[in-house]
Amino acid sequence: MPDPTPIVATPAPAPAVSPAATPTAPAPAPTIPTPDALLIPASMKKGATQRERADTVCSLAESILGAKPGQTAFITVQPGGWMFARFDFNDKLGYPTVGPPPHGDRYVWKTQPSGIRYGYLKEKANA
Amino acid sequence: MAATNLQKNWKDVSHGSVDLTRVTNVSFDLGGQNQGFAGDNDIFNSVVVNMMNSPTASVTTGDPATLMAIAPGTDATLSATHIDAKGATGGDIIYVLTNAVAQGGQTSGGHAEFGTATMQFMAYAPDGQTNPLSFTRSA
């Protein structure tokens, strides 16, 4: 008499796992592109002397704009309580009003939670 | 040595490619022009607005020949460094006035005195918005 067919327990199918239950690594924080220029509220100037105030604003601007060693940011005090910061003092907020196009603002401004506005050159975005 | 946060004397003064030496005085004026408004029963201005700005600069030097050679109407960048009072590294303040147009110069010299010359500059903003006067501190 042949051996009976051995009974092999069939493993139970794995329970369905909801995708929501699968742990995943947290999404990396979005990086903010380095701006080309800044508009810093004048209230951020700190210091009792002119040089101290210049130093606090320049240091802040250089850290955000990514200064190379020895590179300094130039600050322009704009009416309305803003300081325009960039590396090249020849950079203006807008295109010349006289002459061929383009005209208007040179930058696209994004306000940050700190109150500082990050400026991105339109000509770079269109390149 | 830490910066003293005090400035004394000037160096690296230039208007475009013209280096200005023996400088005895430099001044910058933001040239803000405000206008006030009062109406009804106001006895003070109830609103003051910055209407226009006309930045200017003035340079005085003991080298009249060089300064007076700058023709009125010459448009160039005026740069000047205000030196730290004790020469500390990083203590200087650098001023730059772009589109500084030479306005006119005066020169004089009294008996038994050094001659001097003074020139005024008036700056403009090609975009009509950006203050021509910038500053930074030395690295």
pLDDT tens digits for A45-80? 898 888 888 899 999 999 999 999 989 999 999 988
Angle at B89 between CA B63 and CA B18, to 5 degrees: 25
Q: What is the pLDDT of residues B20-74, one digit of tens each?
A: 999 999 999 999 999 999 999 999 999 999 999 999 999 999 999 999 999 999 9
Exposure class string for A47-69: b at 16+ Cβ within 10 A, else e: eeebbebbbbbbebbbebbebee
Write the residue in B77, B127, B134 that is nearest to A95 by C-beta: B127
Global confidence as pTM: 0.82
* Chain A residues closer than 8 Å to B32 by CB: 79
Write the residue in A52, A76, A96 that is nearest to B134 by C-beta: A76
Classified as helix, coil or strand, A5 is: coil
Classified as helix, coil or strand, A96 is: coil
Size of interface A-B (CB pairs under 8 A): 82
Reading the block at residue B9, the tokens are: 């004397």
What is d(CA B96, CA B16) in angstroms, rounded to the nearest whole number? 11
* Chain B residues closer than 8 Å to A54 by CB: 93, 135-137
The interface predicted TM-score (ipTM) is 0.85
